Structure 1
């Protein structure tokens, strides 16, 4: 019910809805307490003027808090700050109502405990302890004032009340503070776990050297689709850095690693946000081009090839030039991705056997050679 009220009063924002629903709960609690005040006013010795003032103050306070909640983002108020303000206001109202309710004063003491417990769900331990001290001091001050202003006030009974409520408020404050610490630790552990899971996911699906998606990522991605959707063009290309073994043998594996990193960096700059370049293994890369016709993909691969041919890599005193060969296929409707990769692999071997530094496509006579 409260969630529905929150959604009605706060719109579709879930966070704002929760804050408004909590506010609705406090409104019902205040209505209950004010009902007790007015019951004593009509049936006992309660003062109608004081009850009316307390009621007006409560209504104005809750209207103000509703506006603060709705404007909290603009005012940059956090839920914890709102809880502190509402908690202190609740303690103030409870203590002001204490001298009015006569024999029902025990109900005010219960309300203090409920206020502290309610605030414990959003406040840190330090703020919960501060609110507990505020409640004890304010209630004690109210009892002292009553003992001096009201001759009928039994100071002995109220002293017992003060000792009991002071003890209970202190205990509840300590317990809710511990609960707040526990909640904070659990939140911290949850955040650390999410970070660790993200790190594990990154290690499992991203190549450590090039920072590109790895073979496992691409296999999971393509197998997730299982088959090419009907009527949606898509292309696959396998790319291989030419003479990569010669680079490793001549300049060392450090130079080979630099070439792979630079190739991944330069290649990523040329691709669209929807394209995915992955390290398939060794010096071989897989390029997935969704929503792309063969003619469009051929243009992308040719730009990729020319760009690779143009840049150089300084390694010591040497300047390395790199070229790339590729096999490109357009995936057929309902085709399994594994079949498309096999065809692209065959075309890649054809491109290398025809002299390297070229893109071979599946259509007869459509192989694109280097200029």
Structure 2
């Protein structure tokens, strides 16, 4: 058994893969901030020890977030993307730099703008208020720590003024976050409505398409579509040398059924006969209503002998039907005329031969299948 190899992204979880890709974007932002910190270090604003601490802090944050997502621990949180946590930790690393930044402290407030914008796009108003409170609270604690432990590195009036400016900025961002959140919600609602309308449109188009090719009463193919399919099958026969048979079905004494039980009962008989006959065929065959009580079966890649077997199976299925909703005494039978289509023959001629065979079935006593002889082709 070979051990599974570790992959940077999960191979079977698209959502987790997307979250890790977003995380890598955040990692890129850390890398750019790191470059700026190194520039500050080269200019003497940070000591090597302070920069090393920042590097370790950033590394710990990124490794921790990555492992949390990669091991699926993030799925235990209400927000599996860990948006608030990532922004909170990014803010913590920024406050670390501000604590040691002295003269360049205010520049790191500018680096936080990207985080503000990301939070504004990801959070609703309440979530952004929480983030704002966290950032403002962290900055206030930072000022207190500087006053207590590094009083020589702080101009209290300036930092308090910057804190107030940050407060105003965060208030503006909060307003924008609410506005963008409302827009997102409207877009989401519009998308849901659009999907619903698209579904209704697809259903309507399918219904229109079915109406164009289906018989309204029985649900099987209509005469026009049958003729189109027969024309296609004729061309396939010419190209490939294949064979097909046309079988015309007629319900025996159907007028008597209408006269005895009514036209609604006749309609039910047509539906049940169509359903039973079409269900007895292969998927490659096609079946439809030709008009009145006549139906047509087209049996692809089938010789006359095979068509006779299939037709007998359909005939017996119809003969065995019962109609308790109409009358326990009602029995329905069918007659079938079968004709094998000649390779380069005319479909109309094949229809004529099948119709003649149907006539002979009727003359022979009904409830039977008759095959047109090859000599008739």
TM-score, reference length from structure 1: 0.74
Alignment correspondent of 1:95? 91
Residue 237 of structure 1 and its aligned partner are, at CA, apart by 2.7
Alignment correspondent of 1:241? 251
Residue 252 of structure 1 and its aligned partner are, at CA, apart by 0.9
Alignment correspondent of 1:322? 332
Report the Cα distance in structure 1 between the residues aligned to 2:227 and 2:329, rounded to whole angstroms: 35
2:297 to 262, 283, 287: 287
Residue 324 of structure 1 and its aligned partner are, at CA, apart by 1.4
The Cα offsets for residues 200-233 of structure 1, whole Å up to 9 and x where unpaired, read as: 4235414443333444554565566672251544
Counterpart contact for 2:246–2:340, Cα < 8 Å: yes
1:298 to 304, 308, 311: 308
Alignment correspondent of 1:36? 33
- CA RMSD between the two structures: 3.9
Counterpart contact for 2:252–2:366, Cα < 8 Å: yes
Residue 309 of structure 1 and its aligned partner are, at CA, apart by 1.2
Residue 38 of structure 1 and its aligned partner are, at CA, apart by 5.5
For the residue of structure 1 that corresponds to 2:136, the secondary structure is helix
For the residue of structure 1 that corresponds to 2:250, the secondary structure is strand
Counterparts of 1:68-217 in structure 2 under 5 Å?
Answer: 68=72, 85-102=81-98, 103-117=107-121, 119=122, 128-151=124-147, 152=154, 154-205=159-210, 206-215=214-223
Alignment correspondent of 2:4? none
Residue 307 of structure 1 and its aligned partner are, at CA, apart by 1.5
Where does structure 1 lack aligned partners over 5 or more consecutive residues? 1-7, 120-126, 367-371
Counterpart contact for 1:244–1:283, Cα < 8 Å: yes
The Cα offsets for residues 37-84 of structure 1, whole Å up to 9 and x where unpaired, read as: 45326624465324422332223313443454xx99xx8x9xxx9975
For the residue of structure 2 that corresponds to 1:321, the secondary structure is coil
Residue 302 of structure 1 and its aligned partner are, at CA, apart by 0.6
Distance of aligned partners of 1:279 and 1:55 in 2 relative to their CA distance in 1, 3 Å threshold: farther
Residue 283 of structure 1 and its aligned partner are, at CA, apart by 2.4
Distance of aligned partners of 1:339 and 1:30 in 2 relative to their CA distance in 1, 3 Å threshold: farther
Counterpart contact for 1:90–1:115, Cα < 8 Å: no
Q: Report whether the alignment pairs 1:358 with 2:368.
A: yes
Distance of aligned partners of 1:299 and 1:140 in 2 relative to their CA distance in 1, 3 Å threshold: farther
Report the Cα distance in structure 2 between the residues aligned to 1:128 and 1:343, rounded to whole angstroms: 75
Alignment correspondent of 2:21? 24
Distance of aligned partners of 1:19 and 1:332 in 2 relative to their CA distance in 1, 3 Å threshold: farther
Counterpart contact for 1:36–1:101, Cα < 8 Å: no
Equivalent pairs counted in the alignment come to 341
Alignment correspondent of 2:104? none
Report the Cα distance in structure 2 between the residues aligned to 1:274 and 1:306, rounded to whole angstroms: 21
Counterparts of 1:307-318 in structure 2 under 5 Å?
Answer: 307-317=317-327
Q: Which has the larger radius of gyration?
A: 2
Counterpart contact for 2:65–2:86, Cα < 8 Å: no
Report the Cα distance in structure 1 between the residues aligned to 2:162 and 2:28, rounded to whole angstroms: 27
Counterpart contact for 2:136–2:163, Cα < 8 Å: no
Residue 300 of structure 1 and its aligned partner are, at CA, apart by 1.5
Distance of aligned partners of 1:304 and 1:172 in 2 relative to their CA distance in 1, 3 Å threshold: same
Residue 305 of structure 1 and its aligned partner are, at CA, apart by 0.2
Counterpart contact for 2:94–2:112, Cα < 8 Å: yes
Residue 259 of structure 1 and its aligned partner are, at CA, apart by 0.7
Counterpart contact for 1:239–1:348, Cα < 8 Å: yes
Counterpart contact for 2:285–2:300, Cα < 8 Å: yes
Residue 171 of structure 1 and its aligned partner are, at CA, apart by 1.3
Distance of aligned partners of 1:317 and 1:282 in 2 relative to their CA distance in 1, 3 Å threshold: closer
1:59 to 50, 60, 63: 63
Report the Cα distance in structure 2 between the residues aligned to 1:223 and 1:329, rounded to whole angstroms: 16
Counterpart contact for 2:250–2:334, Cα < 8 Å: yes
Distance of aligned partners of 1:351 and 1:27 in 2 relative to their CA distance in 1, 3 Å threshold: same
Report the Cα distance in structure 2 between the residues aligned to 1:22 and 1:223, rounded to whole angstroms: 55
Residue 353 of structure 1 and its aligned partner are, at CA, apart by 4.6
